A and B are shown apart, each in its own frame.
Chain A
Amino acid sequence: MKSYLLFLTTCLISQLAWAQADVQKRYQTKLIMADNGSTVDLDAGTFTFTGTLSLEDKKRIIIRGKGIDKTILSFKGQTDGAEGLRVSNAEEIVIENLTVQDSKGDGVKTMKVKGITFRNVKVEWTGPPKAENGGYGLYPVQCDNVVIDGCTAIGASDAGIYVGQSRGIVVKNSKAYHNVAGIEIENSRNADVFDNEAYDNTGGILVFDLPDLVQKQGGNVRVFNNYVHDNNLPNFAPAGNIVAGVSDGTGLMILAANGVEVFNNRFIRNQTLGTGIISYLLTERPITDKAYYPFATAISIHDNVYERNPGPASSRGRYNQIFDKILKAGQSVPHIIYDGIADPGTFDKDGNPLPGKRICIRNNKNQSLVNLDAGRQFKNVSFNATPFDCQLEPLKTTTSAR
Chain B
Amino acid sequence: MRTYLVWGLFLSTSWLILVSWRTVSAPEKLSDYGFFKGNSANQQPADGVVPYALNTPLFSDYAEKLRFIKLPSGQSVAYNDTAVLNFPVGTTLIKTFYYPNDFRDPTKGRRLLETRLLIHQPEGWKAFDYVWNDEQTDALLEVAGDTKTISYVDARGATHQQNYTIPNLNQCKGCHNRNEVMMPIGPSVRQLNGDLAYGAGKENQLTHWQQAGMITGLPALANCPKTPIWNKPETGSLNDRARAWLDINCAHCHNPSGPAMTSGLNLSISETDPTALGILKTPVAAGRGSGGYTFDIVPGKPEESILIYRINSTDPGEMMPELGRKTIHAESVELLRDWIKAMH
Q: Which residues of A contact B (CB under 8 A)?
A: 5, 8-9, 11-12, 15-16, 19, 24-26, 28-33, 50-52, 54-57, 78-82, 86, 88-89, 103-106, 111-112, 131-132, 134-136, 139, 141-142, 157-158, 164-165, 210, 212-214, 238-242, 285-286, 288-289
A13 to B244, CA, bound (A): 52
Report if B173 contacts A (CB, 8 A).
yes
Report if B121 contacts A (CB, 8 A).
no
Contact B144 A12 (CB under 8 A): no
Report if B203 contacts A (CB, 8 A).
no
Set of chain A residues within 8 Å of B6, measured between Cβ atoms? 8
With A8-B6, A82-B317 known to touch, is A240 a contact of B283 (CB < 8 Å)?
A: yes
Q: Which of B9, B287, B323 contacts A8 (CB 8 A)?
A: B9
Q: Which of A26, A78, A165, A241 contacts B283 (CB 8 A)?
A: A241
Set of chain B residues within 8 Å of A285, measured between Cβ atoms? 282
Contact A25 B285 (CB under 8 A): no
Q: Which residues of B contact A (CB under 8 A)?
A: 1-2, 5-6, 8-9, 12-13, 16, 19-20, 22, 143-147, 163, 165, 168-171, 173-174, 180, 256, 259, 261-262, 264, 274-276, 280-295, 306, 315-317, 322-323, 326
With A82-B322, A142-B262, A158-B285 known to touch, is A26 a contact of B19 (CB < 8 Å)?
A: yes
A242 to B284, CA, bound (A): 7
A289 to B286, CA, bound (A): 19
A52 to B316, CA, bound (A): 10
With A89-B180, A285-B282 known to touch, is A135 a contact of B5 (CB < 8 Å)?
A: no
Contact B282 A238 (CB under 8 A): no
Set of chain B residues within 8 Å of A79, measured between Cβ atoms? 163, 165, 316, 326
Q: Which of B180, B275, B289, B293 contacts A288 (CB 8 A)?
A: B275
Instruction: Known A-B contacts: A11-B9, A164-B262. Give 11 more (CB < 8 A).
Output: A5-B2, A26-B19, A28-B145, A54-B168, A103-B317, A104-B317, A134-B287, A210-B284, A238-B286, A240-B290, A288-B275
Chain B CB count within 10 A is highest, among A26, A139, A241, for A241
Q: Which of A19, A104, A212 contacts B281 (CB 8 A)?
A: A212
Chain A CB count within 10 A is highest, among B13, B170, B276, B283, for B170
19 A-B contacts (beta carbon < 8 Å):
A12-B5, A12-B9, A28-B145, A30-B19, A31-B170, A54-B168, A80-B165, A103-B317, A105-B317, A111-B259, A131-B288, A139-B285, A141-B285, A142-B262, A212-B284, A240-B295, A241-B290, A242-B284, A288-B274
Contact B143 A15 (CB under 8 A): no
